[in-house]
Each structure stands twice: as C-alpha cells, then as structure tokens.
Amino acid sequence: RKGSVMIKCRFAPSPTGFLHIGNVRTALFNYLFARHNNGEFHLRIEDTDKERSTKQAIDVIFDGLNTFGLEYDGEVIYQSNNSERHKEVAVDLLNSGKAYKCFHTPDELDEIREENKGKVVSKWRDVDSSLHPDLPYVIRIKSPSDGSNTIHDIIQGDVTINNKELDDMIILRSDGSPVYQLAVVVDDHDAGITHVIRGDDHLTNTFRQNMIYDAMNWNKPTYGHLPLIMDSDGHKVSKRTGAASIVDFFDMGYLPITMMNYLVKLGWSDEQEFFTKEELINKFDINKVGSSPSRLDMKKLNFINGHYISETDDDILVDMFYKEYICNIPKEVIKIMMPSLKVRSKTIDEMRSMVEYLDFDWWITNREDLPSKIENIKSVITKTIFDDILEFSNNDELMSKLKKISEDNGIKLKDVAAFIRYTICGKGISPPLDVVINSLDKENIKERYDILHS
C-alpha cells in the first residue's frame, strides 16, 4: 500500500580504526530520522578491505555507537559476507546484456583515456561473446549514452548530471571481486533500505550507483547527502588539522551528550538549546537540515559542554578526570574539589589544568610568573599578612580579610586575589581561593610564598 512503507536507514562505515566526527553525525542523523519515523536503523560494516578491517578497527565503530546510545536494529551486516551475492548480480547484468566483459589491457586503457578526455570508451561494449578472446577480463556496466540524470535529494534538493559524464564503470574486477559501488547497491537493495543518508562526498557515487539500480530495475532509495564539516578556517576537518575523531573529543573531556547536541546542530537548527536523546528523536526533522557546509565552532562546543559538565554527577566526573591522565593528585582531593571545579570548567582538560598547582613539582617547573602589575603587591602582603590570610573558617571570613587589605591600601580587590592566586597556583585561573587554600598543606603554601617573594 502506498504511503505505508516502513522507513529503513543504515549506517555503513568502513572500518579504518578511526571514527570521524562527520561519520558520527551521519550515524546520528540516520538514527534520529529512523526513530522519529518509527522506522529501522541498521548497521553495515563495509569490511571488504581485509587489511584495514581488523577487529580493533571494527570495535572503534561499535564503541562509538555504544557511547552515544545509537542502538541498531537486527543483526549487523558484514559486507564481506555478501561477496558471492554481489558477483551473482554482476553475472545477472552480464546475462541480461546490461553489462559486458571488457578485455582491454592497462596500456590500452591509458591510451583510450587519453583520447577521450579521461573517459573509458571500451571497444568491447557491443562485441558478441562468440568473438571474445580467452584472456582476463573485467565486467563493466553499460552507462546510458545520452540524456540526463536527476537525484531528488532531501538535503541538497535536485541535483542533475549529464549522462555523458558517466563511463562504463567496472562492477567486477578481473580477479572476480566485486567493486565497492556494486556491493553498496546490492546490500542496500537486499536489506530493503528506503533512505540513504550519507556525506556529500558520496554524491558522485550516487549517480554511478543509480546505473546499477536502473540496470537491475530496482527501486532506488531516497537520498540525503549531508554537507561536510569544516574547521574554523574552512578546511575539511581532518586528522591533519586537529581533532577529527570522536575519540579525540572524548579524550579532551567532551561528554557524549555534548557531542550529540553539538553534532546534531551542525546542519539542523532549533530554538531549544539542550536536548536529551528522546527529545531529539521527537523533534528532529531531516527536511530542515541545511545544505551548506557546517563549521566547527569550539566556543559553542565549550559552552554546551560547560552546561552538561555542571549537570553531571561528581563521581562520574572524578572518573573522567583520571581517565587516560597521569598525575599524582590523590582522588580524595579531586572528589572534594569537584563541586567547585565543575561549575568553572568547560572541559575535563580545563579542570586538569586548573588543579595542576596541587602538584608541587609542576609548580616548581611550570608556573607562570606574576604579572608585573601585581608583582609589587608583595610589599603590602608581607609574609606575616600572607600567613594570616591562610587562617579562616569560611569563605566570608577570607573575603573580608582580602577586602580590608584592598581598602586599606587602595588596591583593587581583584588584584589582591590575583596576587594570592598566582602565588599559590602559578596561574591566573583557579578554583575559588578558599578551595585552593584548603586543598594544600599550609606549610607548602608558605613555602611557595617564600620561594617567590622573599
């Protein structure tokens, strides 16, 4: 019945050992689109490159989906298991005359390309099989010789190419192995995929893949090609230009829920600022995804992460603090400080850098010098006064001591605080001063003053 076909999407990553944030966004959009429409979301591992498709590389994909909670329907499909079926389709096309055996040698093909502006025009396209030599061959699909081809893309709109741009693509190599374009089409068709949502780097593939759908008389899926993610300089986000893998972002201390909220907003917009996964499923509308490239905006990312960090359980944050991080700061100390750290940090990395001062060795070798304009405050905050500042029973008491010093000497309160902060923490950003002072041994704090100011 018309209109009642269930939506079936898929995420079809090739295991590379590296899950690019663009791929994660592709998975997320497929997932949200499927769930929003009560459809299905399938996972297909495109593992035909045996060398790259190690267990480890495949686990990176599972881990990524797991961390985001993008659960898939049914069994995982491993593309390499389907190669017999892919070959069968190539042979079908051969038998129906939609494809042909091509016996050109690599040298001949070079010459042909040179004569035809890069295009392959095989002389074997219409040669009767009785005239075929007993030589190695590839199977090529016959490209349409005229007309044009239009994709009604749900994100890009209508995209048209002239069929003359297509040549007779190889579908089966001379060693009998199917090419990627064939595998994708057969697997999508056999799984009943209704919507193919993927990066727009696949747009040209789509026209080539459609030749196979047409030749097999199969229904084509609806396509949606997502614009690429660019960095702030307008380059495609890649390993070379900085963080590109989702794991890089997790390692820097961005939370999964942050990445989900952030990635979904790269391309799709809504007035609401923060979403749970369920809210996204309810609200997400693929038709509102824009077609222009999205820019990675670290400020926005930090803003979102700051929000979620402040809402996350202290214990979870303490665990994240120590994950993949080597330091000699006792866990009890971080536990005590976490409530004040979490409202001041946009990332876990920021927390780490805020408490580096706890490590005296770090302070000895890496601290920043006091800015020159507060350096001379030491003539006001002498050793005796400094020692007295360290004795307080609550933050109000500490603050009134500092205020008094500020008023009595005509120094801004913030400069008084900065003097103490730089002295103890070796930098201008730290947790609140009462927390800082309580986090260390008094003798150690006094030693820092002595080293710097006497």
Enumerate binding residues for ligand GLU (CB under 6 A): 12-14, 46, 184, 198, 202
The least distance separating ligand GLU from the CB of residue 15, rounded to whole angstroms, comes to 9
First-to-last C-alpha distance (Å) of the chain = 87
| 3 state SS of 377 | helix
- The conformation of residue 79, written as its DSSP 8-state character, comes to G
Tally of residues, the chain: 454
Q: How far apart are CA 183 and CA 192, in angstroms?
A: 14
Could you give the count of Cα atoms lying within 13 Å of 429 in the half-sphere of its Cβ?
11
Cβ of 417: how many Cβ atoms within 10 Å? 19
Nearest by Cα to 448 from 357, 351, 374: 357
- Phi/psi-derived region of residue 324, left when phi > 0, alpha when psi is between -120 and 50, beta in every other case: left
Of the two residues 197 and 411, which places its CB atom closer to ligand GLU in the complex? 197
Of the two residues 40 and 46, which places its CB atom closer to ligand GLU in the complex? 46
Of the two residues 184 and 317, which places its CB atom closer to ligand GLU in the complex? 184
Residue with tokens 């990627």: 180
Could you give the count of Cα atoms lying within 13 Å of 59 in the half-sphere of its Cβ?
3
Of the two residues 15 and 253, which places its CB atom closer to ligand GLU in the complex? 15
Of the two residues 46 and 350, which places its CB atom closer to ligand GLU in the complex? 46
- The conformation of residue 137, written as its DSSP 8-state character, comes to -
Of the two residues 60 and 358, which places its CB atom closer to ligand GLU in the complex? 60
Q: How far apart are CA 140 and CA 217, in angstroms?
A: 17
The least distance separating ligand GLU from the CB of residue 328, rounded to whole angstroms, comes to 42
Of the two residues 202 and 401, which places its CB atom closer to ligand GLU in the complex? 202
The least distance separating ligand GLU from the CB of residue 37, rounded to whole angstroms, comes to 19
The least distance separating ligand GLU from the CB of residue 99, rounded to whole angstroms, comes to 21
Of the two residues 186 and 358, which places its CB atom closer to ligand GLU in the complex? 186
Of the two residues 183 and 348, which places its CB atom closer to ligand GLU in the complex? 183
Nearest by Cα to 188 from 53, 32, 79, 28: 79
Measured in degrees and rounded to the nearest 5, phi and psi for residue 182 equal -70, -45
The least distance separating ligand GLU from the CB of residue 202, rounded to whole angstroms, comes to 6
The least distance separating ligand GLU from the CB of residue 16, rounded to whole angstroms, comes to 8
Residue type, 208: R
The least distance separating ligand GLU from the CB of residue 184, rounded to whole angstroms, comes to 5
Residues 6+ apart with CB under 8 A from 10: 30, 41, 42, 43, 44, 188, 191, 193, 196
Position closest to ligand GLU via CB: 198
Angle between helices 395-409 and 413-425 (to 10 degrees): 120
Q: Which helix (H) or strand (E) holds 444?
A: helix 442-453
The least distance separating ligand GLU from the CB of residue 398, rounded to whole angstroms, comes to 56
The least distance separating ligand GLU from the CB of residue 153, rounded to whole angstroms, comes to 14
The maximal CA–CA distance of the chain, rounded, in angstroms, is 107
Nearest by Cα to 354 from 417, 436, 418: 436
Of the two residues 12 and 286, which places its CB atom closer to ligand GLU in the complex? 12
The least distance separating ligand GLU from the CB of residue 197, rounded to whole angstroms, comes to 8
CB 183 within 8 Å of CB 157: no
The least distance separating ligand GLU from the CB of residue 281, rounded to whole angstroms, comes to 21
Nearest by Cα to 220 from 166, 286, 152: 152
Of the two residues 13 and 178, which places its CB atom closer to ligand GLU in the complex? 13
Tokens read off for 341: 């750290």
| 3 state SS of 353 | helix
| 3 state SS of 144 | coil
Of the two residues 11 and 392, which places its CB atom closer to ligand GLU in the complex? 11
Q: How far apart are CA 140 and CA 168, in angstroms?
A: 6
The least distance separating ligand GLU from the CB of residue 11, rounded to whole angstroms, comes to 8
